[in-house]
A and B are shown apart, each in its own frame.
Chain A
């Protein structure tokens, strides 16, 4: 059974810092891994999708890496801004459904 863990559970940093959010999964035979952002009371916004054959994906200030052998993915946020404050969720799929971690709640203060 796939289990997804995210560390840290919460993070508070000053504006401008570079951040690394961690995601680990127990079953390395995944199809893909997806990172999402969730604002309070809102739905999920897809940030990056990494296919199982890929090692990383980049979008603007975001870079996500995938190491299937170690069961880990990291989301790197460069030059953080207050607008980045949200909960970040990773999810792994081995079958036809995504299994989610509990998220990292990020606060970036000015």
Chain B
């Protein structure tokens, strides 16, 4: 097991385009989180799943954002009609519910909206 993996690592897009990020968590982890981080700030919570159920969404997650985890394994985060303010690092993390709660992060997907 190589940890949490995210794809793509970098995405440059024009304003108004749709983008999708994928996250593959550590295989035995049943919880998956999405965070967003802008330059000089700490990560901000967006949403999380337990298995395939989306349990909480932040107010930061506008209607243009949608996340799924259809089979309780990998997850996707889609941003529709991107805006320049969406430029950020999108981080995925996973953990095992019932364990000590240590969160493991991927390398992130950096989005630049021109």
Contact = CB atoms under 8 A, between A and B. Distances in A.
Contact of B48 (A89, A91, A97): A97
A contact patch SS: strand
Interface residues of A, number: 24
Contacts of A91: 42-43, 103
A93 to B, nearest CB: 7
Interface residues of B, number: 25
Nearest to B58: A97
A13 interface: no
Interface string B90-114: 0101000000111111111010000
A46 B42 contact: no
Given A42-B108, A96-B55, A101 B91 contact: no
Given A91-B42, A103-B42, A43 B108 contact: yes
B33 interface: yes
B102 A34 contact: yes
Interface string A6-20: 000000000000000
Interface in A28-70: 31-32, 34, 36, 41-46, 49, 51
Nearest to A97: B45
B110 A43 contact: no
A108 interface: no
A99 B107 contact: no
Nearest to B45: A97
Contact of A36 (B4, B45, B105, B106): B105
Given A4-B42, A97-B48, A102-B42, A31 B107 contact: no
A98 interface: yes
A101 B48 contact: no
Nearest to A51: B100
Contacts of A4: 42
A51 B43 CA distance: 21
Interface string A79-110: 00000000001010100111111110000000
Interface of A: 4, 31-32, 34, 36, 41-46, 49, 51, 89, 91, 93, 96-103
